Amino acid sequence: MADQPPPQTITDVAVLRLLAHPLRRRIEEQLRRGPVNATSLAQALGESTGLTSYHLRQMAKYGFLEEVPELANGKQRWWRAVPADHRYPAYTEQTDEMRAATAEMTRHNLAELVELYENYEREAPGLGPWADAFLFSRATIRVDLTRMREFFEEYIQLVQRYGVTDDDADGDRKVVLMRLFGFPET
């Protein structure tokens, strides 16, 4: 496993809003497939090149993207996601503005998850054995806050262990979307 970036806590409300923007969420989805440029992104998303170029620059400004100089061709700039472990402050450490931004981002994440699942459901008949890769688990655990944090850190380590590797060119590999939501029952 390659060295993993250290966790970075995002405390800037402007950055949280940047991440919550619906078009930037779609850009992140495209970046999962590999480097993009403003033109290829505009075509994939049905947006203008000027708009995608602006959003790519904004995401790069805050360190979420970096240029890929070896792919540059003339004035065309290529971008890739910067590997990172982004975290958000604990709820009790957030301002009201931060809470609103993270709640908006979470709602977008949940809506994206439903959309991605519905797409999987439509495409599953044509996936062959990969249709069996659908994993679902509902679980309830009883922990204190310390154990909850330990659980989360172990989950992150597991995701990193099975994440992107140098041998990802293997034709049998597919991107598998993993999501973890945990919250206390009220």
Asked if 60 and 79 touch (Cβ cutoff 8 Å), the reply is: yes
Residues 34 and 54: their CA atoms lie apart, in Å, by: 19
CATH number at residue 91: 1.10.10.10
The confidence score (pLDDT) of residue 21 equals: 87
Q: Which residues, 6 or more positions from 2, have their beta carbon under 8 angstroms from its beta carbon? A: 164, 165, 166
What residue ranges of the chain have pLDDT lower than 50?
1
Nearest Cα neighbor of 133 from 165, 180, 174, 181 is: 174
The residue range of the domain holding 123 is: 7-128
The confidence score (pLDDT) of residue 132 equals: 92
User: How many domains is the chain built from?
Assistant: 1
Identity of the amino acid at 54: Y
DSSP for 93-134 reads G--HHHHHHHHHHHHHHHHHHHHHHHHHHHHGGGSGGGGGG-
The answer to whether residue 58 sits within a structural domain is: yes
Q: What is the pTM of this model?
A: 0.76
The confidence score (pLDDT) of residue 10 equals: 92
Question: 């947006």: which residue's tokens?
Answer: 47
Residue 36's DSSP bridge partners are 79
